[in-house]
Copies of this chain bind each other. A is one copy, B any other.
Amino acid sequence: MNPNASAPSSSQAHAPASGILAFLLDRGFKRTHALVCLLREMAADPHPRTLAEWGDCPSLQERSGVTLYRLMLKLEQAGVVRRVNLGERAQCFQLLLTGPAPDYLVCTSCGGLEQVETPPEVRVLEDNLARKTGWKTVRHELEFFGVCPSCAENSDATVQSMNL
């Protein structure tokens, strides 16, 4: 393995899962079934999912949860996958395909997701932190939480009917 290789740049990152696979093979990963399937599934759906959810993908159902867990850790270390906290009990993972990782608006009622454009200022602050404060490898995580319109309606209805 070559732990000093850097993660695929965003130009490579736009390539499909095969580009990432090549990068990983370069780093010493073996071209195993689990790896190939997981990358394919994660490339097919760029949104964050829990380990259990990824394991439910058809091509991954025969894989044990432990395997996915360890594989995901390695992918995270390799900089190919990121971990996101979306307020669920379990953490979510998503493939980093398109350069800068997206931020999300999360419905605390139904768990629905909506992608949000990262405010440029956050990126600037991130760069400044890295340059000015001596912190290394700075990344950010930004989530907005709220109740989506459709859940809000239902909730109003509930409040009325229950006279809360």
Contact = CB atoms under 8 A, between A and B. Distances in A.
Interface of A: 3, 85, 87, 105, 107, 114, 116, 119-122, 125-126, 129-130, 133-149, 152, 164
Nearest to A86: B85
Contact of A139 (B133, B135, B146): B146
Contact of A146 (B3, B85, B136, B164): B136
One complex includes copies of this chain to the number of: 2
Given A119-B121, A120-B121, A164-B3, A126 B138 contact: no
Contact of A144 (B3, B138, B164): B138
A142 B139 CA distance: 11
A132 to B, nearest CB: 11
Contact of A141 (B119, B143, B147, B148): B143
A126 B143 CA distance: 10
A140 to B, nearest CB: 5
B139 A144 contact: yes
B122 A134 contact: no
A137 B105 CA distance: 12
